[in-house]
Structure 1
Amino acid sequence: MSERPKLLVLGAGNQRERAFHRWAADGLEVTLVDGFSYARYDHLVERSFPGDVRDGAAPDLAALAALAAGHQGVTTLSDECQITTALLAERLGLPSAGVGAARLARDKRRQREVAAAHGLPSVAHHASEDPQAVAEFVGGRPGPCVVKPVGAGGSASVTLVAGADEALAACEAMRERGHRSFLAEEFLTGPEISYEAVVRGGRVVLASVTEKEVVGAGCFLERRHLVTAPGKAAPGSVGERAANDGVPALADGLVRAFGVADAIVHLEVKLTDRGPVPVEMAVRPAGDCIPELVERTHGRDLYRHAAALATGREAPGDERTDDGATVAGVRFSLGTGRVTGYARPADVLQGLATVRAAVQIGQVGRTYGEPVGNWDRAGYVLGWGADRAVLERELAIGCDRQLSLAGLKGR
């Protein structure tokens, strides 16, 4: 019998290769249950089962508990499996974020209600399965609103609307994509960040700030993420403002209010003129390669921390970062048209000093229209260095090249 510690992973999502490589390097024996993610990691684990363990699929907990026999921990990398993971961990007596926290992570309406009940910032909002009720709320507001699905992640179907007619149309479009419950809320102005936190025993013990850039005022799909090393954020920058604008205190308050026990938390926040306001919080590691950016700049591997939390082990030590990186970033390629070629990394990265990886997601023959969610990205480039301006410029160049070589028109 193997003496290697065993970790059961329910659902993975996209851009998670680093997690499975890290866990293998740390000697973990990983079992993956995932029958829905587009990205596949079956070849990176010891055992893989194509089961649908998403929260809404009502997976068989008894069968999962039998599968989990001999495993020391259970975790997830997917937004859609947070409740299932917590329920299974509770059944097995293993550490987790907690069932209550996981349920809140999947319900944006309840997040706002709980935050407000604990005296934390919130936004005016209305949730309903009736598009007409959502439209009436928007029509009664003085300014624009955002309409989104209550339980979806990945920037899915988030729409800026003005007036009842636009809100109704947005809800109907979401219905066509399978959503049944809708949330309308006031549109918050100001930059958006995310706060990546390691929570142990209900306390935040490690954290970092991710600066975000979205496509534009009417499209909330995230185009770029930047993470700066501690103490290296430029005065007046979004990162510096987030570190000193009440975000840590907000995160602590939400962790307590939501009852988070042991988890990696991904909190999205708008920095408004009335202070930081939470957008939503998940109890799983951030996606979009953010853990890789945190590792390069902070020397902390969120995937190692996730495994340690799930198995009840002590926190891992910091990673060595010998490359002098003070800022790391990822930029996603968003374009329209039909993919006609393969953007070779050698061609995308030529002459770029800070961009270290280029990944094309869209295969030849795929057609891209206006983006709806994260799955509409054609690829991405990732890098790090000592000069933020240089990194930002070269990430943009890399994406432009990737789109051009793939035959797409940049958005």
Structure 2
Amino acid sequence: MPDRLKLLVLGAGNQRERAFHRWAADGLEVTLVDGFSYARYDHLVEESLPEDVRDGARPDLAALCGLAAGYHGVTTLSDDCQITAAEVAERLGLPGPGPDAARLARDKRRQREVAAEHGLPTAAHHASEVPREIAEFAAARSGPCVVKPVGAGGSASVTRVTGADEALAACETIRARGHGTFLVEEFLTGPEISYEAVVRGGQLVHSAVTEKEVVGDDCFLERRHLVTAPGRETPGSVAERARREEVPALAAGLVKAFGVADAVIHLEVKLTGRGPVPVEMAVRPAGDCIPELVERTHGRDLYRELAALTTGREMPTGERTEEDATVAGVRFSLGTGRVTGYARPVDVLRGLGSVRIAVQTGQVGRVYAEPAGNWDRIGHVLGWGPDRSVLERELDLAADRQLTLTGLTGR
């Protein structure tokens, strides 16, 4: 065994502190190459290089391979760098999801096409660079549709529309934000979940279900995530329904269809009247603190398992302890107005037994309009405990306090 494992991380994104703390605690020597993420982790790694390694920036793969040659694993925590990390890993003969799977993860249109080719469920859809074609699809549907960019993440610019005019307006908004290919699809009714899973050698190894709550029918930005411990799901709950309605079989089918080799995947699914329908799948761990919720309820650290996958080591064992929770959750604070103050955690969490963490990301002076993506959240609160109803109530209370103390009007 080498004296110290070296891990190269190409892109991180936001809310990834737990990953770097875990890797440091495990003795990994981590170098981060990231010059674009708003959140900074330079102080948590051995070395930090401020380079733009996003897929769309067309980074110098030969130079990255030269940098990575001395490392035992290459990975990413960013939606925007999945292709780059997979290509570098493959060129060096290191484990990874595979470039083809990573390309699919960045292309919602191809995901739907490949799913259909393998007999897997998919929503009726059309993708095009021409807004008129998107409008024609929406006009031909009897119900509402969803318009989104093909390659963006973070719930960016996802809009519910009815008819051609609203579809055209959605395309213009997407184009103004730098995306040129549009996807329109039928609006699927039913609760949404995500399926977090470890894939090793193309096979699903471990998994967890995350229940999701969005802001509303007109805003698909995710407001809350809940994860329940295995075997503790309430009969008839969304989590229990996801297990029962063959989401694991759907995930296994998509992993095979996409050719995923070694990865921690994040699969979003709608539980519709006709069964589970995939929304999209990424070959990197979920964001939004979901790995922390899985760790609290399942006793499995997805970041530790990612490091084991990418360095070709044995998978760490995971066992729940008495300190682990029946349910864990995170709620994001969304509002409009100007941030006028700092919501101190001591004030946000006062008197609460289940909510343990409060983080404000919006700086004083920033003005928040209607949210367009995950970056428009003012902050979040996170907690865990034995009672779901208590946790849900306290998460709502803490988030409301956070908004009030920052001077914003809740969304």
Superposed pair shares fold, TM > 0.5 = yes
The answer for unaligned runs of 5 or more in structure 1 is none
| Structure 1 match to 2:221 | 221
| Structure 1 match to 2:154 | 154
Q: Distance in 1 between matches of 2:143 and 2:17?
A: 42
Q: CA deviation at 1:142?
A: 1.5
Question: Tell me, what secondary structure is at the counterpart of 2:30?
Answer: strand
Does the CA contact (< 8 Å) of 2:298 and 2:320 recur in 1?
Answer: no
> More displaced, 317-326 or 156-165?
317-326
Question: Tell me, what secondary structure is at the counterpart of 2:116?
Answer: helix
| Structure 2 match to 1:237 | 237
Q: Distance in 1 between matches of 2:287 and 2:316?
A: 21
* Pairs aligned (count): 410
Q: CA deviation at 1:322?
A: 2.7
Aligned pairs for 1:122-201 within 5 A: 122-201=122-201
| Structure 2 match to 1:68 | 68
| Structure 2 match to 1:77 | 77
Q: CA deviation at 1:67?
A: 1.0
Q: CA deviation at 1:234?
A: 0.5
Q: CA deviation at 1:69?
A: 2.2
Aligned pairs for 1:9-408 within 5 A: 9-408=9-408
Q: Distance in 1 between matches of 2:71 and 2:9?
A: 10
Tell me the alpha carbon deviations over residues 18-61 of structure 1, each in whole angstroms, 9 at most, x when there is no partner.
00000000000000000110000011000110110000110001
Amino acid at match of 1:8: L
Q: Distance in 2 between matches of 1:55 and 1:282?
A: 14
TM-score (norm 2): 0.99
Does the CA contact (< 8 Å) of 2:269 and 2:279 recur in 1?
Answer: yes
Question: Tell me, what secondary structure is at the counterpart of 1:160?
Answer: strand
Q: Distance in 1 between matches of 2:362 and 2:305?
A: 31
Does the CA contact (< 8 Å) of 1:115 and 1:254 recur in 2?
Answer: yes
Does the CA contact (< 8 Å) of 1:193 and 1:212 recur in 2?
Answer: yes
Amino acid at match of 1:360: Q
Tell me the alpha carbon deviations over residues 270-318 of structure 1, each in whole angstroms, 9 at most, x when there is no partner.
0000000000000000000000000000000000011110000010111
Amino acid at match of 1:253: G
Does the CA contact (< 8 Å) of 1:7 and 1:71 recur in 2?
Answer: yes
TM-score (norm 1): 0.99
Q: RMSD value over aligned CA atoms?
A: 0.8
Note closer, same or farther for the CA distance 1:206–1:402 as it changes in structure 2 (3 Å cut): same
Q: CA deviation at 1:165?
A: 0.5
Q: Distance in 2 between matches of 1:345 and 1:34?
A: 29
> More displaced, 260-269 or 60-69?
60-69
Amino acid at match of 2:366: R
Q: CA deviation at 1:3?
A: 2.7
Question: Tell me, what secondary structure is at the counterpart of 2:135?
Answer: helix
Does the CA contact (< 8 Å) of 2:225 and 2:290 recur in 1?
Answer: yes
Question: Tell me, what secondary structure is at the counterpart of 2:224?
Answer: strand
Q: Distance in 1 between matches of 2:120 and 2:69?
A: 40
Amino acid at match of 1:192: E
Amino acid at match of 2:130: D
Q: Distance in 2 between matches of 1:234 and 1:288?
A: 24
Question: Tell me, what secondary structure is at the counterpart of 2:168?
Answer: helix
Question: Tell me, what secondary structure is at the counterpart of 1:20?
Answer: helix
Tell me the alpha carbon deviations over residues 59-112 of structure 1, each in whole angstroms, 9 at most, x when there is no partner.
001110111121000000000000001110011110000111000000000000
Q: CA deviation at 1:319?
A: 5.0
Q: CA deviation at 1:320?
A: 4.8
Amino acid at match of 1:398: A
Does the CA contact (< 8 Å) of 1:94 and 1:311 recur in 2?
Answer: yes
Does the CA contact (< 8 Å) of 2:297 and 2:320 recur in 1?
Answer: no
Q: Distance in 2 between matches of 1:157 and 1:409?
A: 21
The answer for unaligned runs of 5 or more in structure 2 is none
Q: Distance in 1 between matches of 2:204 and 2:63?
A: 33
Does the CA contact (< 8 Å) of 2:296 and 2:324 recur in 1?
Answer: no
